[in-house]
Chains A and B, each alone.
Chain A
Amino acid sequence: MTATLENDTATEPKAGEIPSFEVTLRVRRHLPESAHGEDSFWDEFTVLAHGTDRVLDALHKIKWEHDGSLTFRRSCAHGVCGSDAMRINGRNRLACKTLLKDVNPDKPITVEPIKGLPVIKDLVVDMEPFFASYREIMPFLITSGNEPSKERLQSAEQRERFDDTTKCILCAACTSSCPVFWTDGQYFGPAAIVNAHRFIFDSRDEGGSQRLEILNDKEGVWRCRTTFNCTEACPRGIEVTKAIAEVKRAMITRAF
């Protein structure tokens, strides 16, 4: 690769580089300790962004250069820790995996907390109800008898059977995109079912019946109305709705 020779102005972008641009973020704020009290409000910030910047970079820029009180969770910043699920232009995504250039930066980008969980401050919601549902489906390997002295055997095909649902990072993007969950906070929600699926279809596990019993509850899998929001929202590309359907089918046939 060779550099172009037509660098007559200092601001000329390099070959292949996306130029810097201004972007406006419309952020849903919630600052209970401020004069706003429990009332949420919209706040707008305009920052300079660079070619491959993500929504998280823009939020950091706001926090670090404009308003230190803007509050959100984040950690790994590359889509594996699950801290920064939020509603970006009306769709649940991870802020660290969403490039600004991919969400039409010509117009203000709206950023809101995920729905269905109590908002604590700005984009931070109370995750406890979400984790409580997760814990309820017994998200751990259940076996009986003595432990083997070496590993349990499992074929590559058996391993493949539940590979998709092992990818879950518990970010809540799916559960908080589900209309059933919005109206009925008691519903287990897609993430808990995904994590039940991960064990129900693991050939080493013996707790499938117990989990199916739990999910057969009135707040269990049957509440799912197959709107596919969860599948679209999943930043890990898990086929969430399909996993829920497989759990439903297992419940009818007890074949897993």
Chain B
Amino acid sequence: MQTHQYDVVIVGAGGAGMRAALESSGQVRTAVISKLYPTRSHTGAAQGGMCAALANVEEDNWEWHTFDTVKGGDYLVDQDAAEIMAKEAIDAVLDLERMGLPFNRTPEGRIDQRRFGGHTRNHGEAAVRRSCYAADRTGHMILQTLYQQCVKQDVEFFNEFYVLDLITDHDLAAGEIPDDETVTATGVVAYDLATGEIHVFQAKAIIFATGGAGKIFKTTSNAHTLTGDGMALAYRRGFPLEDMEFFQFHPTGLAGLGILLSEAARGEGGILRNSDGERFMERYAPTIKDLAPRDIVARSMANEVREGRGCGPDKDYVLLDLTHLEPAHIDAKLPDITEFARTYLGIEPYTEPVPVYPTAHYAMGGVPTNVDAEVLRDSHNVVKGLYAAGEVACVSVHGSNRLGTNSLLDINVFGKRAGRTAAAYAATASYTDLPEDAAARVVTQLEEMRNRPDGDRVADVRKALQETMDANAQVFRTGDSLNQALTDIRDLQERYRNVSVQDKGRMFNTDLLEAIELGFLLDIAEVTVVAALNRKESRGGHYREDYPDRDDANYMLHTMAYRRPTSAERTADGRVDGFVTGYFDHVEEFDGYKVALGSKPVIQTRYEPMERKY
């Protein structure tokens, strides 16, 4: 076992993690721990662009961008955070250009901009050109550019190290709940994949930038490695997860495969058609049609299929039609995604429409933070020394549905903020002693998993989880379907206790790590379903067929899900550990712990909730 000491430890080397590292590594001693080589991170798969009201090609301003973000999120967005993001977007894009990012250019040589779903002129009048882009590989360019700058700054990386535990001075999940005392994060425990050795990192400040958890679903645009590690680690220490019921299904995944085809395809003029050849989005969003926000388009597509207007032998997908676009235009603006259609489906997008169907894409929820990226341990207190940014976090700038391009923006704006605040805090804070046996939990967990007798296969349990999530917690949900998912997850949690690995070695044991990651997935799926069951309304990415309307009177609140010991008791007024009552008083018992729901107010500044029409 090795121990290290750094002022700031960043977990994850995607866009948010590296953007944070660029801020903090110049100030204080910083380490970045990543389970992948930084350039393998999933930021690199983002395609369409990054919105900022540069107004390079037409009139635009950050206030319109804020409004679109709030409306796009079906008013569950914290409006102060959205305003910060839209304002700082402009500098975030310019920062990247100055770092060398090769944006596409206007005839005047400035950064070019294009249309994207839900981004409009003057509060919904028409689509606006706001997305700054580099062909259809904007995320790739952001990831490469940030890595290049990290090389320039000589940022210290621990590559292919898996962080498997978060060390804190109070274990809230074990019931150590201080009333007004501070709770401090003091370090992380990591596993070096190459050698199997355990490394303990003591840190004054820790930034989680571990990305999403798309692998709880079967059909997903997410990488195999997106297993919700950071979310699960925070949750297991008793820190809340916010708004986990809101998961975005991207409308245009390659049918059957889930591989993403960017919304830029529709931004550049692509049209969705059903089996009658009809441009069906005209019926669902008469003003901006195919460029409506993702939740609306995904639901419309699923509805077309459900009502029998799907295409193909099983009538189970719709078509993305680019055939009316000039091949030269497609090659210039959408080269990668058209290649995906050719490679994986053998479809030539110049002449044939591409089969598409919604694919699980993005977690709007995550580890709650304030606008300075400090992690919250309840609806108002922060955890000292713990920060989060990017998809793992919930600020909440995306509310119940994220607009396209706002994720690349989120990682840059809040990654930068996380790096700055963490470095500033670390510069004045001192180290907190770690317990003697800081790595004990991880060592026990790994050894126990490695030495288990032959049991269930990890892959079988994971497949069953992904299938129930696709069947019961996807675009359309009901109380019955979610209860089925919860029953299945309980059963799978039980089976998980008996899964075994075949590879018993120390070196590069991905078999073992897949087993550990499955544990994260199960925990995240469980919270997602419990939160979805409790929210008896439809809003953004969460659509309950049994409660098809938005219910602001009862549900205009963020869900906060806490893991607590079984022994935690309800107080006289029905609360568990001081959480609010009302529609968020649900407590779900599991084997050995309970999930207690609470809520957090939505911050509203200038926009009154309105009915969402496009």
**Residues on A facing B (Cβ under 8 Å):** 1, 3-4, 14-17, 31-34, 52, 63-65, 67-69, 71-83, 97, 99, 120-121, 124, 127, 131, 134-135, 138-141, 147-148, 150-156, 158-159, 162-163, 166-170, 199, 202, 204-205
Contact = CB atoms under 8 A, between A and B. Distances in A.
Contacts of A4: 313
A140 B151 contact: yes
Which 3 pairs from chain A and chain B are nearest by CB? A141-B100, A68-B502, A64-B459
Contact of B110 (A1, A99, A151, A158): A151
A17 B313 contact: yes
B265 to A, nearest CB: 15
A141 B100 CA distance: 5
Contact of A1 (B312, B345, B508): B312
B57 interface: no
Interface in B456-476: 457-459
B250 to A, nearest CB: 13
B483 interface: no
Dominant SS at the A interface? Answer: loop
A38 B39 CA distance: 30
Interface residues on B, range: 35 or more
A11 to B, nearest CB: 15
A14 B256 CA distance: 14
Contacts of A79: 340, 343
B453 to A, nearest CB: 14
B345 A75 contact: no
Given A68-B502, A68-B511, A80 B312 contact: no
A90 B297 CA distance: 44
A127 B37 contact: yes
Interface string B178-211: 0000000000000000100000000000000000
20 contacts: A3-B313, A33-B505, A69-B503, A73-B40, A74-B224, A76-B42, A77-B223, A78-B259, A80-B336, A81-B41, A81-B223, A131-B37, A141-B98, A150-B110, A152-B97, A155-B105, A156-B104, A156-B109, A162-B102, A168-B144
Contact of A120 (B137, B225, B508): B508
B223 A75 contact: yes
B107 A156 contact: yes
Contacts of A97: 343
A163 B340 CA distance: 19
Contacts, number: 164
B502 A154 contact: no
B36 interface: yes
A120 B42 contact: no
Contacts of A14: 313-314
A33 B450 CA distance: 15
Interface string B64-97: 0000000000000000000000000000011001
Contacts of A156: 104-105, 107, 109
Interface of B: 36-37, 39-42, 44-45, 93-94, 97-100, 102-105, 107-111, 134-135, 137, 140-141, 144, 148-149, 151-152, 194, 223-225, 256-257, 259-260, 275, 311-314, 336, 340, 343-346, 457-459, 501-503, 505-511
A141 B99 contact: yes
B40 A202 contact: no
- Which of B103, B259, B275, B314 has the most C-beta atoms of chain A within 10 angstroms of its own C-beta? B259
Given A65-B459, A81-B40, 10 more contacts: A33-B507, A63-B459, A80-B336, A81-B44, A140-B148, A151-B94, A151-B97, A151-B111, A152-B98, A156-B105
Contacts of A34: 505
Contacts of B194: 120
B312 A76 contact: no
B511 A63 contact: yes
B110 A204 contact: no
Nearest to B346: A52
A169 B109 CA distance: 26
Nearest to A152: B97
A124 B508 CA distance: 8
Contacts of B224: 74-77
A76 B141 CA distance: 16
A120 B44 CA distance: 26
A121 B340 CA distance: 30
B508 to A, nearest CB: 4
Contact of B102 (A68, A81, A166): A166
A156 B149 CA distance: 24
Given A3-B313, A170-B39, A121 B507 contact: yes
A187 to B, nearest CB: 20
B498 to A, nearest CB: 15
A195 B447 CA distance: 42
Contacts of B506: 33
B502 to A, nearest CB: 3
Nearest to B150: A140
A151 B313 CA distance: 50
A56 B194 CA distance: 21
Contacts of B344: 52, 78, 99
Given A68-B503, A71-B508, A148 B98 contact: yes
Contact of B104 (A63, A64, A153, A159): A159
Nearest to B502: A68
Contact of B511 (A69, A73, A141): A69
B183 to A, nearest CB: 33
A20 to B, nearest CB: 14
Contacts of B313: 1, 3-4, 14-17
Contacts of B458: 64, 68
A76 B44 contact: yes
Contact of B109 (A77, A83, A155): A155
A75 B505 contact: no
Contacts of B225: 75
Given A81-B223, A155-B105, A162-B102, A69 B502 contact: yes
A163 B506 CA distance: 42
A237 B140 CA distance: 15
B338 to A, nearest CB: 12
B65 to A, nearest CB: 18
A76 B139 CA distance: 13
